[in-house]
C-alpha cells in the first residue's frame, strides 16, 4: 500500500469516524504519526485515545533504547516492523497438525496438551466447535452475574470508556520507559478486567480461554482494576510454546488495586526461545506494574522459561498505608537465552510490606540476572521488605548475576536481603542415578525442589504444568 | 550374582584398584576390610558407576550382564544398590518424592505400574519405623540437615524400599552409636535371603558381631590380600593391618 493510500484511508476514517473499506489489512513496515492515526481509526477509537497514543509517540521519539540491562542483542530496527495487521484469516494457518513443525508437536505431547488445544495453539484452521467455546460462554455468564467485566481492551474502550480512561496509564505512565512509550503509542489489544466493589471474582481469570479470539499481537496492553475490597486472580499465558512470527514483544500490564482490594497475577511465559544456537527467539520487553492503595495487596507470580531475551520487572507501588506487595519468580534460561528480570517494590505508605522470592536457574550457555529495587520513601514508617534471591547453576558454561538496589530514606524501615548461589552437583546427580533415576529426571527433580517456594504460590493446575514445563525446558542440559 | 575379574581402576589418573578379583554368590554376605586408601570405597563406586572412576582393565559380570557396559542408573535398576558413606543433601526435594521416584523407576524396569501415592505413603511410613526414623523425615529435603546417624538410617530405608539384589554398604557403620548400629544390623539381617547378596565395606570388626559374614576379605594396595571366614576379622582386630601388609610385601 502506498503512502498516498494510507493517507487517504486515514482521512476517510477521520471524516467517517470509522473505516469502511480499505485495500489491505496490513500496514507496510514503519512508524510515524500517520501509522498511529491509522491504527486508532481502524480500531474505531475515540479522539481522546488517539491523542493519548500520539502524546506517547511524541514522548517516545525523544527517548532512547535502554542499555543498562545485562542482555546483548543486535539493534532492533523498529522501522522494519509493521504496526498493524488485522487478525490473520484462519485460512492462512496450517490446515492440519500434519503441516505443523514436528518438534513443536513433540513438545505439546510432552506437556500433555489435548489434541484440540494443540490445534489452537499451533494456529491450525479448524472449524469444529471446541469444547472451550461453550466453556467460555458459561464462564462469561457467571462473570456477568457477579458484575465482573473481562473483555478485550479494545472492546472496553468502546463499552466502558470512562473506566478505561480513568485508569489507563495511571500506573505505567505513557512515557515511563522506551518500550512502554512505544506500547502506549501502538498497542494492539489485550485484556481489560474490572472487579466491582466488594466482589470476589468467582473464578480464576485466564487468557487461556480467549485463545480463540483474535491474536493480541506483539504490543499487548492489559489493564486490571480491582475496586475497593474486591479480589481477583488472573492467569496469563500458557505453558505451551506459542507460535508467533513477531520477534519483538513489548507488552504493558497495569494493575490497580483500590483500598482493600487484592490482585494475584500469575504468569507462565514460554515463548519461543530460539534454537539451540539461540537464533530466532522472541525478544520480550515487558513493563508490568501494580498500584496498591490502602490495605490492598498485589501479588506477582511468574514462571519464565521462554524467549531469547527477557527484560521484565513486575513491580508494586505500595502507595496506601498497610498495603502489601509480593513477587515470586522462577526464571529459567537454557542454551543461549538471556534473562534480566526482577522487581521493584516502592514503599510510599506507612507499614507497607513486601516480599521478594526470586529463583534463577541457568543452564547451557545462558545468562540469568536478577535485578531488584527496594525503595523506602521518607513517609514509609514501619515499612518492611524481605528479599530472597537464589540462583542455581547447571553445568559450567552458564552465568547468574544478582543486582539488588536498596534505597532507604526512612530510618524505621527494615530491609532484609538474602542471596545464595548453588550448583546442581555431580554428587547429587550420582545419588539420584544410583537410585535408578536418569540424569534428566534427576535434574528436573532438583530444579523443581529449588523452585518449590514459588510453585506453591501458583494456582494448583498451573503449578503442575509449571513443573512439567521446567522438565521440558531443561532437556539436553545435562550429559 | 557378581563376578569381578582382575579389575583395575583409576581416579584422577591415580591407580586405585590393581587386579581385584571377587566372586559373590546369591545369598552371601561378604565383608571387605582393609586400611585407609586400600581401595574399599573405590570398589563400591566403580561397581555403582560413579562418573570419574575409570576402569582400565578387567571385567565385572552382574546377574549375567556386563556391568561395566551399563550406565549408572541401569545398574541401579538391575538391582545394584550402594549405601553411601557420605550421603549428599538435595535441598527442596522431599525424601518422600525422591524415594517414590526411585521405587517407581525400579517398578517400571520390572514392567510394573508405578505405586499410587497412598500405597507408597503407607509403605514409606512402615519402612521409616523399621529403621527407627521419625516419619517426619519423609517430608524433609533429602538428607537436608540430617545428622550423620539419620543419614545412614535414611540410606538403610532406601535400601529396604528398593529391595536390591546386591547391596553394597560403604562404611555404613562408621560414626554410628551402638543403638544405630543395631538398627542397621537388624535391617540387613531382616533382608538377608537366598536371592540377595551383601558386600559390607567396613573398617571395624564391630559390625560383624551383628551381621555374620560368609566371607571376609582384606584389601591392600588395590587387590584382595587375604580371604577367609569371620575369624579373619577377629584376627585383624587383634593384630591390626600392619601385620598383613608386611606379609603381602
The reply to whether residue B162 touches residue A436, judged by beta carbons under 8 angstroms, is yes
Among the partner residues A425, A430, A449, nearest to B92 by beta-carbon distance: A449
Using left for φ > 0, alpha for ψ between -120 and 50, and beta otherwise, residue B175 falls in left
The reply to whether residue B92 touches residue A450, judged by beta carbons under 8 angstroms, is yes
Gap between the Cα atoms of B174 and B181, Å rounded:
9
Gap between the Cα atoms of A167 and A189, Å rounded:
16
A44, A47, A53, A57: CA torsion to nearest 10: 120
3-class SS of residue A29: coil
pTM, 2 dp: 0.79
The Cα angle at residue B203 between residues B197 and B206, in degrees rounded to 5: 80
Among the partner residues A430, A434, A449, nearest to B93 by beta-carbon distance: A449
Among the partner residues A430, A441, A445, nearest to B72 by beta-carbon distance: A430
Q: What is the DSSP string of A60-91?
A: HHT------SS---PPP-GGGS---BPPPPGG
By CB atoms closer than 10 A (0-12, 13-18, 19+), residue A459 is middle
Among the partner residues A426, A427, A437, nearest to B105 by beta-carbon distance: A437
Chain B closest-CA separation from residue A21 CA (Å)? 60
Specify whether the CB–CB gap between A232 and A226 falls below 8 A.
yes
For an interface test with A, which of B73, B103, B139 has the most A Cβ atoms less than 10 Å from its Cβ? Answer: B73
The reply to whether residue A430 touches residue B51, judged by beta carbons under 8 angstroms, is yes
Among the partner residues B73, B88, B92, nearest to A427 by beta-carbon distance: B88
**What is the model's pLDDT at position A114?**
61
Chain A closest-CA separation from residue B246 CA (Å)? 36
Chain A closest-CA separation from residue B105 CA (Å)? 6
Chain A closest-CA separation from residue B131 CA (Å)? 18
Among the partner residues A425, A445, A449, nearest to B88 by beta-carbon distance: A425
Closest CA to A331 of A245, A282, A389, A397: A389
Task: Give the residue with greater pLDDT, B48 vs A85.
Answer: B48
Chain A closest-CA separation from residue B129 CA (Å)? 21
ipTM value for the complex: 0.95
**What is the model's pLDDT at position A66?**
85
Q: Note whether B77 contacts A: Cβ–Cβ < 8 A.
A: yes
Give the residue from chain B lying closest to A446, CA to CA. Answer: B93
The reply to whether residue A437 touches residue B102, judged by beta carbons under 8 angstroms, is yes
Alpha carbons within 13 angstroms on the beta-carbon side of residue B126 total: 8
Chain B closest-CA separation from residue A442 CA (Å)? 9
The reply to whether residue A445 touches residue B87, judged by beta carbons under 8 angstroms, is no
In this structure, the number of other CB atoms found within 10 A of the CB of residue A36 comes to 21
**What is the model's pLDDT at position B247?**
58
Chain B closest-CA separation from residue A430 CA (Å)? 7
Give the residue from chain B lying closest to A440, CA to CA. Answer: B73
Give the residue from chain A lying closest to B71, CA to CA. Answer: A433
* Three-state secondary structure string covering B155-216: HHHHHHHHCCCEEEEECCCCCCCHHHHHHHHHHHHHHCECCEEEEEECCCCHHHHCCCCCEE
By CB atoms closer than 10 A (0-12, 13-18, 19+), residue A178 is middle
Gap between the Cα atoms of A328 and A308, Å rounded:
21
Q: Note whether B101 contacts A: Cβ–Cβ < 8 A.
A: yes
CA A441 to chain centre: 29
Per-residue model confidence as pLDDT tens for chain A (479 residues): 444 544 444 333 323 223 323 334 677 888 899 899 998 988 889 999 999 999 999 999 999 888 888 888 888 888 887 787 654 444 455 666 676 666 666 766 666 666 656 665 555 544 333 344 445 556 777 888 999 998 888 889 999 999 999 999 999 999 999 999 999 999 988 889 999 999 999 888 875 443 333 344 578 899 999 999 999 999 887 655 555 556 788 899 999 999 999 999 998 887 777 777 767 778 889 999 999 999 999 999 999 887 888 889 999 999 999 999 999 999 988 888 888 999 999 999 999 999 999 999 998 888 899 999 999 999 999 999 999 999 999 888 888 999 999 999 999 999 999 998 888 888 999 999 999 999 888 988 998 888 988 888 887 767 777 777 777 777 766 65
The reply to whether residue B91 touches residue A449, judged by beta carbons under 8 angstroms, is yes
The reply to whether residue B105 touches residue A445, judged by beta carbons under 8 angstroms, is no
Q: Note whether B84 contacts A: Cβ–Cβ < 8 A.
A: yes
The reply to whether residue B109 touches residue A439, judged by beta carbons under 8 angstroms, is no
Among the partner residues B88, B90, B105, nearest to A436 by beta-carbon distance: B105
Chain B closest-CA separation from residue A389 CA (Å)? 15
Gap between the Cα atoms of A309 and A333, Å rounded:
9
The reply to whether residue A449 touches residue B51, judged by beta carbons under 8 angstroms, is no
Amino acid at each position: 500500500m502506498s503512502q498516498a493510500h494510507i493517507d487517504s484511508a486515514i482521512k476517510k476514517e477521520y471524516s467517517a469516524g470509522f473505516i469502511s473499506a480499505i485495500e489491505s489489512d496490513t500496514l507496510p513496515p514503519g512508524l510515524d504519526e500517520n501509522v498511529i492515526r491509522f491504527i486508532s481509526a481502524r480500531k474505531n477509537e475515540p479522539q481522546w485515545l488517539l491523542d493519548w497514543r500520539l502524546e506517547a509517540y511524541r514522548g517516545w521519539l525523544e527517548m532512547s533504547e535502554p542499555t543498562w540491562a545485562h542482555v546483548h542483542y543486535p539493534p532492533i530496527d523498529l522501522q522494519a516492523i509493521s504496526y498493524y495487521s488485522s487478525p490473520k484469516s484462519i485460512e492462512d494457518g496450517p490446515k492440519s497438525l500434519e503441516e505443523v513443525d514436528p518438534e513443536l508437536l513433540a513438545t505439546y505431547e510432552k506437556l500433555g496438551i489435548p489434541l484440540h488445544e494443540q490445534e489452537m495453539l499451533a494456529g491450525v484452521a479448524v472449524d469444529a466447535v471446541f469444547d472451550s467455546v461453550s466453556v467460555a460462554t458459561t464462564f462469561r455468564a457467571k462473570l456477568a452475574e457477579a458484575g465482573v467485566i473481562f473483555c478485550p481492551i479494545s472492546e472496553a474502550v468502546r463499552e466502558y470508556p470512562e473506566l478505561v480512561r480513568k485508569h489507563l496509564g495511571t500506573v505505567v505512565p505513557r512515557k515511563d520507559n522506551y518500550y512502554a512509550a512505544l506500547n502506549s503509542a501502538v498497542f494492539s489489544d489485550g485484556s481489560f478486567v474490572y472487579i466491582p466493589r466488594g466482589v470476589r471474582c468467582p473464578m480464576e481469570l485466564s487468557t487461556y480461554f480467549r485463545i480463540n479470539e483474535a491474536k493480541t499481537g506483539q504490543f499487548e496492553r492489559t489493564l486490571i482494576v480491582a475496586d475497593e475490597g474486591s479480589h481477583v486472580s488472573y492467569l496469563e499465558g500458557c505453558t505451551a510454546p506459542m507460535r508467533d512470527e513477531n520477534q519483538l514483544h513489548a507488552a504493558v500490564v497495569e494493575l490497580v488495586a483500590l483500598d482493600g482490594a487484592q490482585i494475584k497475577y500469575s504468569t507462565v511465559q514460554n515463548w519461543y526461545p530460539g534454537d539451540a544456537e539461540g537464533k530466532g527467539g522472541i525478544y520480550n520487553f515487558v513493563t508490568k506494574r501494580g498500584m496498591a492503595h490502602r490495605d490492598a495487596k498485589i501479588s506477582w507470580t511468574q514462571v519464565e522459561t521462554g524467549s531469547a531475551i527477557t527484560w521484565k520487572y513486575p513491580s508494586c507501588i505500595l502507595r496506601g498505608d498497610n498495603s502489601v506487595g509480593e513477587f515470586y519468580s522462577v526464571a529459567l534460561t537454557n542454551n543461549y537465552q538471556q534473562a534480566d528480570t526482577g522487581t521493584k517494590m516502592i514503599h510510599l505508605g506507612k507499614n507497607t510490606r513486601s516480599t521478594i522470592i526470586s529463583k534463577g536457574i541457568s543452564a547451557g550457555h545462558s545468562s540469568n540476572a536478577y535485578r531488584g529495587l527496594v525503595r523506602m520513601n521518607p513517609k514509609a514508617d514501619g515499612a518492611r521488605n524481605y528479599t530472597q534471591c537464589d540462583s542455581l547453576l547447571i553445568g559450567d558454561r552458564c552465568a547468574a548475576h544478582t543486582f539488588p538496589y536498596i534505597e532507604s530514606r526512612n530510618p524505621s524501615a527494615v530491609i532484609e536481603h538474602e542471596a545464595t548461589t548453588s550448583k546442581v552437583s555431580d554428587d547429587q546427580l550420582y545419588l539420584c542415578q544410583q537410585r535408578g533415576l536418569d540424569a534428566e529426571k534427576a535434574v528436573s527433580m532438583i530444579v523443581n525442589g529449588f523452585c518449590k517456594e514459588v510453585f506453591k504460590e501458583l494456582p494448583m493446575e498451573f503449578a503442575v504444568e509449571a513443573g512439567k514445563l521446567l522438565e521440558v525446558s531443561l532437556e539436553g542440559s545435562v550429559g | 550374582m557378581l563376578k569381578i575379574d582382575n579389575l583395575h581402576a583409576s581416579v584422577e589418573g591415580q591407580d586405585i584398584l590393581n587386579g581385584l578379583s571377587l566372586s559373590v554368590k546369591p545369598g552371601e554376605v561378604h565383608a571387605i576390610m582393609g586400611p585407609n586408601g586400600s581401595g574399599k570405597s573405590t570398589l563400591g563406586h566403580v561397581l555403582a558407576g560413579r562418573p570419574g572412576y575409570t576402569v582400565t582393565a578387567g571385567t565385572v559380570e552382574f546377574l549375567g550382564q556386563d556391568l561395566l557396559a551399563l550406565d549408572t542408573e541401569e545398574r541401579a535398576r538391575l538391582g545394584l544398590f550402594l549405601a553411601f558413606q557420605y550421603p549428599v543433601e538435595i535441598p527442596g526435594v522431599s525424601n518422600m518424592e525422591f524415594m517414590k521416584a526411585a521405587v517407581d523407576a525400579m517398578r517400571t524396569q520390572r514392567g510394573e505400574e508405578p505405586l499410587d501415592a497412598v500405597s507408597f505413603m503407607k509403605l514409606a511410613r512402615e519402612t521409616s519405623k523399621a529403621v527407627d526414623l521419625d516419619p517426619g523425615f519423609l517430608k524433609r529435603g533429602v538428607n537436608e540437615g540430617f545428622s550423620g546417624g539419620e543419614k545412614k538410617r535414611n540410606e538403610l530405608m532406601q535400601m529396604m524400599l528398593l529391595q536390591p539384589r546386591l547391596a553394597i554398604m560403604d562404611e555404613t557403620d562408621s560414626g554410628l552409636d551402638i543403638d544405630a548400629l543395631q538398627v542397621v544390623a537388624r535391617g540387613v539381617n531382616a533382608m538377608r535371603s537366598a536371592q540377595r547378596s551383601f558386600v559390607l565395606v567396613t573398617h571395624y570388626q564391630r559390625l560383624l558381631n551383628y551381621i555374620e559374614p560368609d566371607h571376609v576379605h582384606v584389601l591392600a594396595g588395590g587387590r584382595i590380600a587375604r580371604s577367609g571366614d569371620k575369624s579373619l576379622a577377629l584376627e585383624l582386630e587383634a593384630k591390626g593391618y600392619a601385620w598383613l601388609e608386611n606379609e603381602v610385601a
